[in-house]
Amino acid sequence: MPEASHLTPVAVMILATLREADMHTYELVRLLKERRDDRLVPLQKGTIYHTVARLERDGLLAEVGVDRDGNRPERTTYTILDAGHRAVEEWVRAELPRIDRPGEFRVALSEAHNLGRAEVIGLLDARRARLVASVEEHHDGLSVAAERETPEQFLVELRRQSALLDAELAWQDSLRARLADRSLPWGIAEIPEHIKKKHRVSKETTA
C-alpha cells in the first residue's frame, strides 16, 4: 500500500466520499461536483476514473457489485477498505497543521471531519503556532520597512499577505473555539438522521 503522503488531493476526496456510502464512479463524480468540490481541485471525469482504478490497484478500495439501468452501460459500485480509511486519516493528519501548502490544506480542512474532535483541535493548535510565527515575521518586516522609510508602493504585497494572515488566524481561532465548546456538531454521529438521508451519509467513521 502506498504511503498516505503519496495520495493526490483528488484521491483523498474520493476515498473520503466513499467513507460515507458505497457508490459507483458516476455517482462519485456527480456528488463531488454537486458539493462544489471542484472549487478545491479540478474534477475531470477522466482523472476520477483513472484515480479510482489506481486506488483499487493499491488496495484502498474494492468493487462490491455491478448494475445496469436500462440501456445504460454497466456501473461498478465501490467500497472503501480499511487501508483506505487509514490513508484518509493519515493524509489529513499530515496536511492539516501545515501553512506552506494552501491547496492541500483546503482539502484537508474539508475532510477534517474524518478525524475526531479532540484530534482536530490538537492539529489546529499546531498549525496556529506556525501561523503566529508567520504573522510576527510579516509584522516585523513591515516595522523594519517603516523605520527605513521604504516607499509604501513597494510594500503593497507584504501588507496584503500580513492582512490575510491576520484574518486566517482570527478565523482559525473562531473555528477552534466552536470545536472546543461543542457548538459545532462534529462527526457522523452528530449529524441528524434526516440530514444523513438527504446527503446519503450512512457509514460511521472514527470521528
Residue 196 lies in a domain: no
CATH of the domain at 80: 1.10.10.10
Instruction: Let me know how long the chain is.
Output: 207
Residue 170 lies in a domain: yes
pLDDT at 38: 82
Mean pLDDT, residues 37-61: 91
C-alpha cell read off for 173: 481561532
Which ranges of the chain does DSSP label H, i.e. alpha helix? 9-18, 25-34, 45-57, 82-95, 102-110, 117-147, 156-180, 193-198
Q: Range of 154's domain? A: 117-184
Taking only the tens place, the pLDDT of each residue in 78-89 is: 999 999 999 999
Q: Quick one: 121 and 94 in the same domain?
A: no
- Residue pair 87/18 in contact (Cβ under 8 Å)? The answer is no
Q: Quick one: 86 and 159 in the same domain?
A: no
* Distance in Å from the first CA to the final CA of the chain: 23
Q: Quick one: 50 and 89 in the same domain?
A: yes
What is the DSSP track for 71-105?
TSPPEEEEEE-HHHHHHHHHHHHHHTT-SS-HHHH
pLDDT at 75: 85
Residue 43's pLDDT band (cuts 50, 70, 90): confident
Q: Quick one: 87 and 146 in the same domain?
A: no
Residue 200 lies in a domain: no
Q: Quick one: 27 and 84 in the same domain?
A: yes
- Residue pair 19/114 in contact (Cβ under 8 Å)? The answer is yes
Q: Quick one: 52 and 13 in the same domain?
A: yes
Q: What is the count of structural domains for the chain?
A: 2
pLDDT at 207: 39
Residue 61 pLDDT greater than 50, yes or no: yes
Q: Quick one: 92 and 121 in the same domain?
A: no
Residue 74 pLDDT greater than 80, yes or no: no
Q: Which residue has the higher pLDDT, 182 or 72?
A: 182
Residue 60 pLDDT greater than 90, yes or no: yes
Q: Which among 111, 139, 166 is the end of a domain?
A: 111
Residue 205 lies in a domain: no
- Assign residue 5 a region (left: φ > 0; alpha: ψ between -120 and 50; beta: otherwise): alpha
Residue 42's pLDDT band (cuts 50, 70, 90): confident
Classify residue 28 by burial, with Cβ atoms within 10 Å: 0-12, 13-18, 19+: buried
- Residue pair 12/37 in contact (Cβ under 8 Å)? The answer is no
pLDDT at 94: 97
| Strand-pair category, 23-24 with 61-67 | unpaired
Q: Which among 87, 111, 135 is the end of a domain?
A: 111
Q: Quick one: 82 and 132 in the same domain?
A: no
Q: Quick one: 88 and 18 in the same domain?
A: yes
**66 membership: H or E segment, kind and range:** strand 61-67
Q: Quick one: 75 and 121 in the same domain?
A: no
Q: Which among 111, 132, 148 is the end of a domain?
A: 111
Q: Quick one: 37 and 77 in the same domain?
A: yes
Residue 207 lies in a domain: no
Taking only the tens place, the pLDDT of each residue in 120-178 is: 999 999 999 999 999 999 999 999 999 999 999 999 999 999 999 999 999 999 999 99
Residue 178 lies in a domain: yes
pTM of the model: 0.85
Q: Quick one: 26 and 89 in the same domain?
A: yes
pLDDT at 191: 74
Alpha carbon distance 23, 62 (integer Å): 11
